[in-house]
Amino acid sequence: MTEQEKKNAAGRDGTNGMPAGYEYDTLMNLLRVSVSKHLLDEHFTLVWANEFYYDLIGWPRGEYEEMFHNQPDLYYQDDQELWADLTQTVIKALESRQGGYQMVSRLRRKNGEYIWVQFSTRFSDEYIDGYQVAYSVLTNIDDLVQMQRERSVTYENLPGFVAKYRIDQDLGMVLLDANARFMEYFGDNTNGELHALQGQNIRDNMETIQSHRNELLKGEPVRFVMHVKDRKGQNLWLQVNAACIDWQEKSPVYLAIFIDITDVTELREMQKKLTEQTAALKDALTVAEHANRAKSDFLSRMSHEIRTPMNAIIGMTTIAAAYIDDKQRVADCLEKIGYSSKHLMTLINDVLDMSKISEGKMRIAHEPFKLETVVESISSIIYPQAREKGLDFTVPLVELTETELIGDSLRLNQVLLNLLSNALKFTPKGGSIRMEIRQMLKKDGKIRLRFTVSDTGIGMSSAFMERLFVPFEQEDMSAGQNAGGTGLGMPITKNLVTLMGGTITLQSELGKGTSFIVELDFDLPKDKGKMPAPKQYVMESLKVLVTDDDRDSCVHTALLLENLGIRSDWVLTGKECINRVRLAHQSGEDYDVCLIDLRMPDMDGVEVTRRIREIVGAGTMIIIITAYDWGAVENSARQAGANAFITKPIFASTLYDTLLSVTGIERAVRPPAGKSQRPELAGHHVLLVEDNVLNREIAVELLHMADITVECAVNGRDAVDQFLAHGDSFDLILMDVQMPVMDGYEATQAIRGLAHERAGSIPIIAMTADAFHEDVVRAGEAGMNGHLAKPIDPDLLYETLAEWVGGHFH
């Protein structure tokens, strides 16, 4: 190296004594862009930045260093979503061994305003303290983004339909962009692509387009009329005004405005109506023919579906009679009869539901309910079935803050169970089913929730997806398992969602699974109950660490804790959890509670619990998070040091109760487990009103099993007469609805109108095959106190009786 080169390398140019960095500083000032150097550690620590970096964020260097200690994660602490997008971009680039990354994101300045910036980052071969170094350039593109938005608004507000095309040398027209009105009339986004005014419409007007060939290829303005069909098949006459605005690959790009001139003359209007009527008649004929075929197929399929469980019921009854002395054989027959009966009941309910919807008799309730109750009910049904099939079933909650809602919980339950049952049918062993509940919007006393039911099952063909919500349709299952069914589950689901004012969309691919997305609006109760202040005050003193390999679960739980006023941290692995606990213990700031997921890829929750106990002893309370049933691991987890268990999905109320319980702030009061018998019902006297001999025999036997004495009436008039004669001896009336002479509603109203001292107070429970929600409402309007649907569930019967008469003699 020459002396001159040594001087230059040492930082002098050897000529006029100026520092070698002078050229660098001059270059930075000329470029006026932010340049910074970062470590690729957990904070993305800032090592160095030029002045334009601080100008961009609006923070003086000294204040920034004092406030955020050169740690960008602290700077983004109020913008967790932006930080998550940035960190995920960096991690993805590192994992894929890229040399760097580029992304566009918003950035909050010191004054609270947000600006749009472009990140351009390169990963270097330099390391500091074991961490790789990255160099970033941040460019302010806020003006560009705002300009694009303004251009978009202008684009959408131009009159008529607006589209942008590239005209190739063979006069091929490639659609590049279009406004919303254009897509509404001509678009087709089913495959995420633009197909509007393409294909047949272009070919039908090619003679007109060819006549303007020279002007189009030269990029000159053109004006002509086209006759086209919109995506509904309706004919339109369009005036086209187009001008060249750009060139791509030596081809002109035209911005075209299409003005609808179909109704310019009365003659064209009449022609349009005649065409529409003809098309409508053809469509009606096609629909009628298709409906007849579908109903014929449905009747054929239903004949098979109904005869299958009926054959089992009749066959098992015959076998049971033949082996009447063999208790085990009879018990096995009865179990199979019960299973077949429930399957038959499901088929009947589907047909009746569809009939109610078709006749416009379905009514949507508007009543308070708790979302956690709906989810727990669904999980108790789906989780065991999923586990039996070898499937993974999860229910993640995302940004969910409100669970006390007003709406129709029964129909919501039905929609979600239909979708999940479908997923169970068509997902093979080893797959997974996921029901994500995401809070989308909360405003003016309303909330919008998105329910996404996805599976890794066999998926659907694109052709069948178009017919999925048509009654009586079923996919050809020759290539998959024979799942059976009526073909009504999805149409019922679609109609229920529509009646509830929501939307349902579908994404599926053969061999890769299916996702249903349901969005529903619910009202929020005006006066929500709040936690007592003393408990809340003590809660705020807690410090909690959440550990779960599912990031959404961590964020959701942290949000629930934040709403309780509790400080929390969260990590994604068992190893990170142990390190956090160790560091906190060494600094004398132990966590009060650790919430630890049972199943994580690097280390399960029981092992993490054991290691935490080795570090902190008994001081920190440990709660194990499980999918549903913790019975299999309870002993080993408690031996390792676990204090309590909580099931996913985690709701605010269950989290609050569990924290109260384990921390000793207050013991959560839980009802004792239900008993298999009902001694509180023994000795009571019931009037059973039932005209069907077999149904009467079944009900009497069920009541006798609980040591209840029974008097029977065979119709409503008989019930009124017996109450007049012996009303003082009855504790409750079980009232059928559909009966001769006088039905159950009339009988109830007659009893309530009597002068008898107990006429207005005796509990009357409807016990009927009229099982729809409106039937429950009608029973209440007639003066009944409750409603039991046939076939009678013995446990529900006893529970209802206990609610009204258990332990209380008249």
Tens-place pLDDT, residues 239-296: 888 889 889 888 999 988 887 776 654 455 666 676 777 777 777 777 766 666 656 6
What CA–CA distances, in Å, run from 147 to 162, 253, 437? Answer: 19, 21, 36
* Minimum mean pLDDT range among 18-22, 429-433, 617-621: 18-22
What pLDDT, on the 0 to 100 scale, is given for residue 319? Answer: 77
Could you give the CA distance from residue 29 to residue 23 in angstroms, rounded to a whole number? 10
The CATH number given to whatever domain includes residue 443 is 3.30.565.10
Residue 506: C-alpha distances to residues 417, 462, 470, 494, 666 (Å): 16, 11, 14, 11, 46
Same domain, 125 and 241: no
Q: Are residues 486 and 339 in the same domain?
A: no
**555 Cβ partners below 8 Å, 6+ apart?**
80, 398, 399, 570
Does 541 map to a domain?
A: yes
pLDDT tens digit sequence for 674-693:
333 678 888 899 999 998 88
- HSE at residue 210, side-chain half, CA atoms within 13 A, is 6
- pLDDT value for 785: 92
If asked whether residues 425 and 305 sit together in one domain, one would say no
105 and 169 share one domain: no
- 391: in domain: yes
Query: Which two three-digit tokens encode residue 175?
Result: 């659609």
Whether 762 is in a domain gets the answer yes
- Pair 638, 772 in one domain: no
Minimum mean pLDDT among 153-167, 198-212, 691-705: which range? 153-167
Average pLDDT over residues 575-579: 94
Whether the upstream peptide bond of residue 72 has omega within 30° of 0, thus cis, is: no
pLDDT at position 586 over 80: yes
Residues 740 and 628 in one domain: no
Do the bridges between strand 114-128 and strand 685-689 make them parallel or antiparallel, or are there none, so unpaired?
A: unpaired
Radius of gyration of the chain (CA): 35
- The answer, yes or no, to whether residue 346 has pLDDT greater than 70, is no
The verdict on residue 5 lying in a domain is no
Quote the pLDDT of residue 123: 93
Q: 713 lies in a domain?
A: yes
Looking at the structure, do residues 93 and 126 belong to the same domain, yes or no?
A: yes
- Please compute the mean of the pLDDT values over residues 495-513 and round it to a whole number: 88
Torsion sign (Cα): 526, 527, 533, 536: negative
Judgement on whether residues 445 and 347 belong to the same structural domain of the protein: no
646 φ, ψ (degrees, to nearest 5): -140, 140
The model's pTM is: 0.44
Q: Please give the C-alpha separations between residue 541 and each of 591, 617, 803, in angstroms, as whole numbers.
A: 11, 20, 41
Last residue of a domain, one of 80, 110, 143: 143
The answer, yes or no, to whether residue 138 has pLDDT greater than 60, is yes
Please determine, for residue 670, whether its predicted confidence score (pLDDT) is greater than 50.
no
Decide if 776 is inside a domain. yes
**Same domain? 328 vs 373:** no
Task: Read off the CATH number of the domain in which 134 is found.
Answer: 3.30.450.20
Residue 260, exposed/middle/buried by CB under 10 A (0-12, 13-18, 19+)? Answer: middle
Q: Flag whether 566 is in a domain.
A: yes
> Domain holding 540: CATH number?
3.40.50.2300
353 plus 374 within the same structural domain: no
Task: Indicate whether 391 and 513 sit together in one domain.
Answer: yes
| Minimum mean pLDDT range among 153-167, 641-655, 696-710, 744-758 | 153-167
Q: Residue 12's pLDDT is what?
A: 36
123-130 mean pLDDT: 91
Rounded average pLDDT over 353-376: 71
**Residue that is last in its domain, among 326, 358, 390:** 358
Separation of alpha carbons 712 and 716, rounded Å = 11
Q: Which of 279-283, 303-307, 428-432 has the highest average model confidence (pLDDT)? A: 428-432
Confidence category of residue 431, pLDDT binned at 50, 70, 90: very high
Q: Which of 636, 663, 690 is the last residue of a domain?
A: 663
Percentage above 90 pLDDT, the chain: 29
How many domains does the chain fold into?
6
Q: How far apart are the first and last CA of the chain?
A: 112
d(C-alpha 530, C-alpha 548), whole Å: 28
Residue 722 lies in a domain: yes
Number of other CB atoms surrounding residue 397 within 10 Å: 26
Instruction: Please check whether residues 272 and 231 belong to one and the same domain.
Output: no
Sequence-separated contacts (24+) of 705-709 with Cβ below 8 Å: 705/794, 706/677, 706/678, 706/681, 706/682, 706/798, 706/801, 707/681, 707/682, 707/683, 708/681, 708/682, 708/683, 708/684, 708/801, 709/683, 709/684, 709/685
Hunting for tokens 């018998």 — which residue is that? 677
Structural domain that includes position 222: 158-262
Is 660 or 82 the better-scoring residue by pLDDT?
Answer: 82
Residues facing 509 on adjacent strands = 513
User: Residue 239: which residues within 8 A CB-CB, separation 6 or more?
Assistant: 223, 225, 258, 259, 261
Sign of the alpha-carbon torsion through 251, 252, 255, 259:
negative
Q: Enumerate the H helices of 617-743 as residue ranges.
A: 634-640, 652-663, 693-705, 716-726
